[in-house]
Chains A and B, each alone.
Chain A
Amino acid sequence: MTFLKPVVGFWQQYRRYRPGYIGFIVLVVICLIALLAPYIAPYRPEDMQAELLLPPSQGHFMGTDYFGRDEFSRVICGLSTSLLVGIGAAGLSTLIGAVLGAIPGYFGGKVDHVFSRFFEIFMIIPIFFLVVLAAALFGSSLNVVLLIIALTSWPETARVMRSQVLTIKTREFVESSILVGEGGLYTLFRHVVPNGLYPVITVGTLRIGAAILTEAGLSFLGLGDPSALSLGKEIQTGSRFLGVAPWLVTFPGIVLVILVLTFNMIGDGMNFAFNPRSRTR
């Protein structure tokens, strides 16, 4: 079981950072709730079975909405949308960013120059406007939303990967790999990239929170998947009854904050475990 050793070592460092440890436990609970939501939910999320706009009570933990649907059931069933889009978009964007950042970092010169200018452009332009335009043009199924978020959020990861590769490629084991005759791209992805992945994983974890916020923002603007339950959409419809039924805005929002906070705390914990310098702050 030697491959488990770095994982165990990581975990021992990671759990020393209290917020990261709490975040991990909360995430496990949230994932369980999201997975078991159809069984936990007291009502089906689309059932109009109660009176309209009931305040929170024993039977309706988070009140009911304008159609008499149970808000609690809708919120916990909406969790999986946020999780899927968040984790999926962040994963894809990390993959793209790692590849596109490794290449200019390794080959340097003109390639690096062109790539760097490209990242710079992405850093400057208002990304969310682009996301909104793309979502409006391409329709908004969950897959499209996920893809749009991934394709617009990779430059940050690419920047981190690039600087990692820049420092690692000068190490001796890289030179020896080249000397024994292994090709450039092979060396890059077999030896250089795996050794520089830690900060990229940390950025990727923080990306999950950001992607969840972007998805919620799109849903709030009415650009989410119309057939999927989403916390952002719940808040948007709830906001029309802000004066009479504030619970329709308050509860989905609190759940959303907890969800994003969880991933941010885990990201900080990873930074703590991977990066010895951050421990002596």
Chain B
Amino acid sequence: MALRDYIFSRMIQAIPVLLSVIIINFLLVHAAPGDIATYFVGLHSPTPDQIAAVRAKYGLDKPLWIQFFTYMESIVRLDLGYSWSYGAPVINVISERIPATLLLTSTSLALSLVFGILGGALTARKPGKSIDVTASLLLLALYSTPVFWGGLILMLFFAVDLKLLPTSGVLGTESLVGFPYVVDLLRHLILPAATLCLFYLLGLYFRVTRSSVVEVSREDFVTTARAVGYDENTIFNKYVLRNALLPVVTLAGYEMGFLFSGALITETVFAWPGIGRLTYEAVLSRDFPLLMGSYLITSLCVIIASLATDVLYTLLDPRVKLE
């Protein structure tokens, strides 16, 4: 099967996932207590006209299955409703925030992959030694730390006490262009990206790399290479590490939902203007169309991101048969 067909078939498989997200959205709103119409127009004393308009639009007086198709149809037209706290269509409000979230998530994913693989590979070469034990205890502690608290502690240390980095936001007050703009953006990016990496993803890749390296080291072809007389460093770099990295990449594809969930809290802590922070604002103002929309769009981002890693995986590993 050609790569193009493979990508196409994976896209077909993504449809049920997206569909279930839409169904969950629909069912949750209908199961929630109170009048559904008020969820769409806002809870702050909506006028009867507004309620009537929403009732007509979503067919709220019709049977449930017709309502579902009306809802589906509006989503296909990219009409995710109207955010009353922003006074704009939900899709516009959300799409403005997507780049910031993608910048944050991809940066911390890259950081976690690099440091996780480095650390995991390093400790796996000396299993049971003090560096290995120390690292695994440290990781367990990081893994047990709530991401928002970790972020606040980093902020306290680097921004409040040392005043090295800005506490929050995405850009300083002055309007910058060109190189100074990029520097300013990066300065704001460091703390949120480090938070998401340290307290969310790093341990995962560290652990998986470590156990994968230990496993591959026991395989016969490593023994053979040793018997042939290659030195340990060549064996490790050329044979062990390369084979051990494949499960790490697969894992990255499965953890996209996890990554975006972490971004929700991290963005809230650092006022990073992405979808996560938007979701928090929607929670505060109980803006349900916006909240449902951001759940839907985030799921879409996650599905696309895991699709991309799958494709990347097949490119990296020639042994993978495209099914």
Q: Give chain B interface residues in 260-293, CB to chain A under 8 Å.
A: 260-262, 264-265, 268-269, 279-280, 283-284, 286, 288, 291-292
Is B229 interfacial (CB 8 A cutoff)? no
Instruction: Name which residue of chain A comes closest to B296, CB basis.
Output: A129
Q: Which residues of B contact A124 (CB under 8 A)?
A: 17, 254, 256-257, 302-303, 306
A interface secondary structure, majority? helix
Q: Which residues of A contact B1 (CB under 8 A)?
A: none
Do the beta carbons of A261 and B140 come within 8 Å of each other? yes
Q: Which residues of B contact A250 (CB under 8 A)?
A: 153, 156
Q: Shortest beta-carbon distance, A205 to chain B, in Å? A: 13
Instruction: Name which residue of chain A comes closest to B25, CB basis.
Output: A133
Do the beta carbons of B143 and A264 come within 8 Å of each other? yes
Do the beta carbons of A138 and B261 come within 8 Å of each other? no
B interface secondary structure, majority? helix
Instruction: Name which residue of chain B comes closest to A209, CB basis.
Output: B144
Task: Report, as a range, how many residues of chain B touch the other chain.
Answer: 35 or more
Interface-located stretch among A43-51, A176-184, A187-195, A213-221:
A213-221
Is A246 interfacial (CB 8 A cutoff)? yes
Partner of A221, one of B127, B128, B280, B292: B280
1/0 per position for A222-256, CB-CB distance to B under 8 A?
11000000001001100100110010011001001
Q: Which residues of A contact B21 (CB under 8 A)?
A: 125
Is A59 interfacial (CB 8 A cutoff)? no
Do the beta carbons of A130 and B160 come within 8 Å of each other? no
Is A29 interfacial (CB 8 A cutoff)? no
Task: Report, as a range, how many residues of chain A touch the other chain.
Answer: 35 or more
Q: Shortest beta-carbon distance, B200 to chain A, in Å? A: 11
Q: Shortest beta-carbon distance, A139 to chain B, in Å? A: 7
CA distance A129 to B298 in the complex (A): 8
Is A136 interfacial (CB 8 A cutoff)? yes
1/0 per position for B284-319, CB-CB distance to A under 8 A?
101010011011001100110010000000000000
Do the beta carbons of A125 and B302 come within 8 Å of each other? yes
Q: Shortest beta-carbon distance, A268 to chain B, in Å? A: 8
1/0 per position for A112-139, CB-CB distance to B under 8 A?
0000010011011111111011101111
Is A185 interfacial (CB 8 A cutoff)? no
Instruction: Name which residue of chain A comes closest to B143, CB basis.
Output: A264
Do the beta carbons of A137 and B149 come within 8 Å of each other? no
Partner of B24, one of A130, A243, A253, A261: A130
Do the beta carbons of B17 and A217 come within 8 Å of each other? no
Q: Which residues of A contact B152 (CB under 8 A)?
A: 235, 239, 242, 249, 253
Taking A125-B21, A246-B160 as contacts, is the C-beta distance between A136 and B286 under 8 angstroms?
Answer: yes
Partner of B257, one of A125, A209, A236: A125
CA distance A249 to B157 in the complex (A): 12
1/0 per position for B122-164, CB-CB distance to A under 8 A?
0000011000000001001101111111001101100010000
CA distance A233 to B12 in the complex (A): 42
Do the beta carbons of A249 and B17 come within 8 Å of each other? no
Is A5 interfacial (CB 8 A cutoff)? no
Q: Shortest beta-carbon distance, B114 to chain A, in Å? A: 24
CA distance A120 to B310 in the complex (A): 14
Is A281 interfacial (CB 8 A cutoff)? yes
Do the beta carbons of A223 and B283 come within 8 Å of each other? yes
Residue from B29, B127, B146, B153 with most neighbouring chain A CB atoms (10 Å): B146
Taking A132-B283, A253-B149 as contacts, is the C-beta distance between A137 and B156 under 8 angstroms?
Answer: no
Residue from B17, B25, B128 with most neighbouring chain A CB atoms (10 Å): B17
Is B52 interfacial (CB 8 A cutoff)? no
Do the beta carbons of B156 and A121 come within 8 Å of each other? no
Instruction: Name which residue of chain A comes closest to B34, CB basis.
Output: A137
Partner of B28, one of A134, A239, A256, A257: A134
CA distance A260 to B155 in the complex (A): 22
CA distance A143 to B295 in the complex (A): 23
Do the beta carbons of A129 and B260 come within 8 Å of each other? yes
Is B32 interfacial (CB 8 A cutoff)? yes
CA distance A130 to B20 in the complex (A): 12
Q: Which residues of B contact A235 (CB under 8 A)?
A: 146, 148-149, 152
Taking A130-B24, A264-B140 as contacts, is the C-beta distance between A123 and B254 under 8 angstroms?
Answer: yes
Taking A121-B16, A136-B286 as contacts, is the C-beta distance between A221 and B268 under 8 angstroms?
Answer: yes
Do the beta carbons of B257 and A249 come within 8 Å of each other? no
What are 23 A-B residue pairs whose CB atoms fall within 8 Å in the complex? Answer: A124-B17, A125-B257, A125-B299, A125-B302, A126-B295, A126-B299, A128-B262, A129-B260, A129-B295, A132-B279, A132-B283, A132-B291, A133-B25, A133-B295, A137-B32, A137-B288, A213-B144, A222-B284, A235-B148, A253-B145, A260-B146, A261-B141, A281-B128
Other than the given A126-B302, A133-B291, A260-B146, 18 more pairs (CB < 8 A) read: A121-B16, A124-B254, A124-B257, A124-B306, A125-B299, A126-B261, A126-B264, A126-B298, A128-B261, A129-B279, A133-B295, A220-B148, A221-B283, A239-B152, A249-B153, A253-B146, A257-B149, A265-B140
Top 6 A-B pairs, shortest CB-CB distance = A128-B261, A253-B149, A137-B32, A260-B144, A261-B144, A126-B257
